[in-house]
Amino acid sequence: MKNCGVETALAVEGGMKVVSPVTGEVVATLKAHDVAETEAAIAKAGEAFRKWRMVPGPRRGELVRLFAEELRNSKDDLGRMVSIEAGKSPSEGLGEVQEMIDICDFAVGLSRQLYGLTIATERPGHRMMETWHPLGVVGIVTAFNFPCAPWCWNSALALVCGDPVIWKPSEKTPLTALACQAVFERALVRFGADAPDGLSQVLIGGPDVGDALVTSEKVALISATGSTRMGRIVGPKVAARFGKCILELGGNNAGIVCPSADLDMALRAIAFGAMGTAGQRCTTMRRLFVHESVYDQLVPALKKAYASVTVGNPLEGQALVGPLIDEAAYDGMVAALGEVKDLGGVVHGGERVSVGPDTAYYVKPAIVEMPSQQGPVLRETFAPILYVMKYSDFDAVLELHNDVGGGLSSSIFTTDLREMEVFLSARGSDCGIANVNIGTSGAEIGGAFGGEKETGGGRESGSDAWRAYMRRATNTINYSKDLPLAQGVSFDI
Ligand code: UN1
């Protein structure tokens, strides 16, 4: 397999091991790229930028349109690749590919809408406007749990904005990245000579490759998805060189179930939000506040749903919950459950389930009834644990809701207009995503995706997220015969 001009064989002795969480077994070994190859890729992307920025936006959009066609043709294969490498259910694997197709479609339309404002000026005979220009090389760092959609949120926008992309996927999911690149290359062939070499490259490797990308002054924008820990390393490094950064980091997403909620709907939304993707979405619902008047109705029903959910091999059968990514994820879950027990938490579920070889880590999703918000409840454990807490006062629960580091996603379940509006208001949820009567996960691509506080503040995907991939210029044009200065300043020579 070729990428950035370097052979990446699928069976290299002593190479980087790729393990499928479905069985815990090695499915490929790859030759990793090194720092010199990373630098060469960045230089190549820089060359590509000089050419690609001159290709008209709508023509750049045509490449993304062709890519969307190729993705449609490869949807089943790519979806299965996601299931093999990230352990997602078939439906969720396909859903991730659909998310790529959706953002491509969005980006194609956007390629004709990269517009700026015309602004009133204080000087007669002048015109002021803003223009948006391609930014430069975009480095994309992605996490294992969404091995391809976040790359596409970034690359589809970057490409129509006139920027080449370099992708460093998670070391846990490089095969999906190589497969996406191969699909992209089909679109490139159909597109023809307007596309320069090095427009999209994949770098397989570990922290040294990531570091070379992040610290390179030739990479204009780093868009990184991953843990808050990772963001604390990447953010300052990019800032130190005045690079631009989009950080999409951890969340500690909560739902609030109010007295007037449609409990049946809430139950289904919470089940998907908390157990979907085995709790390994950055948008996974991790905390649930239930009003005391409906607690004894909702929580037993939720426990029942948890006990009945099917956990199993995502490549066979109809299991809704697949494996954790690896042993470390399992250890993290065990540690968090141990800790909450000491804090008075009552744990339901959470046991390891034997599916196939011992090297795979499947678990029953866990519900933990907590007396208060403390200990592990305050942090993100990337596993299917839902901490449930009882509340009585709406204003107090809003405070608790926001009293965590993460600020990605949130939900309220209510049919009370006042509660809903307060939740969405300036004193309501402090998250980048605030939903009503749907869960915290499963966002559409049309809205800007990302969150506040320890989630990093970046926005990707829809709305006006495209602006981060371009540079803005303010232009003032004097078409008069005078030279009036702004602010009434005179400077007569
Ligand atoms: C992630 O977990 O990093 O909103 C992304 C969602 C998906 C994206 C999740 N559309 O759950």
Supply 401's token pair: 């809701």
Of the candidates 63, 6, 89, 104, the one whose C-alpha atom is nearest the C-alpha of residue 311 is 89
278 CB-side CA count, 13 A: 35
Which of 88, 94, 148, 282 to mutate to test ligand 1, by most ligand atoms within 8 A of the CB atom?
A: 282
> Phi and psi of 474, rounded to 5°?
-95, 125
Among residues of the chain, what percentage have pLDDT more than 70?
Answer: 98
Q: Please list the active-site residues.
A: 248
SS3 353: strand
Distance of CA 231 to the CA centre of its chain: 13
Ligand 1 atom with least separation from CA of 284: 11
Q: Is the CB of 146 under 6 A from ligand 1?
A: yes
Ligand 1 atom with least separation from CA of 441: 11
Centre of ligand 1 from the C-alpha of residue 441, in Å: 6
* Cα 34 to Cα 441: distance, rounded to the nearest angstrom: 36
- pLDDT-based confidence at residue 438 (cuts at 50, 70, 90): very high
Q: What is the pLDDT of residues 286-305, one digit of tens each?
A: 999 999 999 999 999 999 99
* Entry pTM: 0.96
Residue 122: what pLDDT?
Answer: 98
Supply 295's token pair: 């607690």
Q: Is the CB of 170 under 6 A from ligand 1?
A: no
ipTM over 0.90: yes
Mean pLDDT, rounded, of the chain? 96
Ligand 1 atom with least separation from CA of 283: 11
Q: Which residues contact 414 (CB under 8 A, 6 or more apart)?
A: 256, 258, 260, 261, 420, 423, 436, 437
Centre of ligand 1 from the C-alpha of residue 182, in Å: 23
Residue 10: what pLDDT?
Answer: 63
Compute how many other C-beta atoms are within 10 angstroms of the C-beta atom of residue 416. 15
Specify the residue with its C-alpha closest to ligand 1, atom 6. 442
Statement: residue 3 has pLDDT above 50: no
Supply 114's token pair: 């990269």
Helix%, strand%, coil% for the chain, nearest 5: 40, 20, 35
Q: What is the pLDDT of residues 254-282, one digit of tens each?
A: 999 999 999 999 999 999 999 999 999 99
Which residue shows structure tokens 């065990």?
A: 334
Centre of ligand 1 from the C-alpha of residue 338, in Å: 28
Burial of 427 (0-12, 13-18, 19+ CB in 10 A): exposed
Q: Is the CB of 442 under 6 A from ligand 1?
A: yes
Supply 314's token pair: 């995502």
Q: Is the CB of 88 under 6 A from ligand 1?
A: no
Q: Which residues contact 303 (CB under 8 A, 6 or more apart)?
A: 348, 367
Centre of ligand 1 from the C-alpha of residue 149, in Å: 8
- pLDDT-based confidence at residue 7 (cuts at 50, 70, 90): very low
Residues 331 and 297 sit within 8 Å (Cβ to Cβ): no
Q: Is the CB of 323 under 6 A from ligand 1?
A: no
Centre of ligand 1 from the C-alpha of residue 90, in Å: 16
Q: Is the CB of 258 under 6 A from ligand 1?
A: no
Q: Strand 253-257 relative to strand 409-413: parallel, antiparallel, unpaired?
A: parallel
* Cα 13 to Cα 30: distance, rounded to the nearest angstrom: 9
Centre of ligand 1 from the C-alpha of residue 458, in Å: 14
Statement: residue 129 has pLDDT above 80: yes
SS3 290: strand
Q: Is the CB of 450 under 6 A from ligand 1?
A: no
Residue 398: what pLDDT?
Answer: 98
Q: Is the CB of 443 under 6 A from ligand 1?
A: yes
Q: Is the CB of 181 under 6 A from ligand 1?
A: no
* Cα 67 to Cα 466: distance, rounded to the nearest angstrom: 18
